[in-house]
Structure 1
């Protein structure tokens, strides 16, 4: 009987209700065994609900124009502040785990990371803009795929750099429905095994032209030299 009474006293709660004309109503429940104090305050301006432990606490403050939720630990604090035109979340780690996520804004949207930003998809991914689109990096940029890569524009395409290289491990082709131009202060065209220049009308050289080889062969139905 005595042990049961002592256990009952150990689990008992200390409850109080305070009423004041200027401070409103305060309801407080203290759990001695759990070292936890629960408090509800109604002061005519806001409603405050707080659960206070030895090192951690959670608080909800509700006013006519805002709701603030705070969870405070020994090292970190997270808060959610909601007003009529905004919701602000501050925390160390923010996670969303859902089957489907949809985020939509009628005006501008900004995604900014102070560290590394990673976007990953296990299936198809698409980025679409109804206006201009820009992809820019202040350092090196890689574009890589394990399958085909297609870049297409209905108008002009411009690629520029200090050095530009187009390389195919088996074959490289440059084609146009009308004209192809290769221009430079110095232009080298080399074939490690064979080089062929062919056209219905072929012109080589302007001021000084040198044709050189261990064997030079010029042939045609009509050949004019000089």
Structure 2
């Protein structure tokens, strides 16, 4: 293991820059604290990940984003959007619930609904075409 090149820059105009450079592994970590944001960057040979925090947002750009926890709760006061450029899956180990207070829509070219024991459909009016 080679020595790391570590540098801390303090500048009243540009803020603080902390750099840890692993030249033998071609990995460079940088933390920049400036007048607008905190930016953490990890750069290697094939990819770079960045976390940028401002007073009103946190943005994460990376190749793989992974969260492991005993419990996860996500809440937004306005709209929430999840999307994927390719496959997208959701699963629940015991129970899976999806609910819309006003409307719920499921659409695709092909839709399969399966139940191992029973499939129950309820509604004031059911329309099949």
Q: Is TM-score (shorter-chain normalized) higher than 0.5?
A: yes
Residue in structure 1 matched with residue 107 of structure 2 by the alignment: 136
Counterpart Cα distance in 1 of 2:99 and 2:127: 21
**Aligned pairs for 1:43-58 within 5 A:** 43-44=11-12, 45-54=14-23, 55-58=26-29
Provide the aligned length of Structure 1 versus Structure 2. 126
Residue in structure 2 matched with residue 152 of structure 1 by the alignment: 122
Say whether 1:77 aligns with 2:48: yes
Counterpart Cα distance in 1 of 2:58 and 2:7: 25
Counterpart Cα distance in 2 of 1:78 and 1:110: 22
TM-score for both structures, normalised by structure 2? 0.93
Deviation, 1:36, is: 2.0
Deviations 1:155-206 (A, max 9, x none): x21111xxxxxxxxxxxxxxxxxxxxxxxxxxxxxxxxxxxxxxxxxxxxxx
Q: Kindly report the root-mean-square deviation, in angstroms, between the aligned alpha carbons of the 2 structures.
A: 1.1
Name the SS for the 1:99 alignment partner. Answer: coil
**Aligned pairs for 1:16-165 within 5 A:** 34-44=2-12, 45-54=14-23, 55-137=26-108, 139-154=109-124, 156-160=125-129
Give unpaired runs (5+ residues) of structure 2. none
TM-score for both structures, normalised by structure 1? 0.54
> Of the two, which has the highest radius of gyration?
1
Counterpart Cα distance in 1 of 2:103 and 2:95: 22
Deviation, 1:35, is: 4.1
Counterpart Cα distance in 1 of 2:70 and 2:36: 33
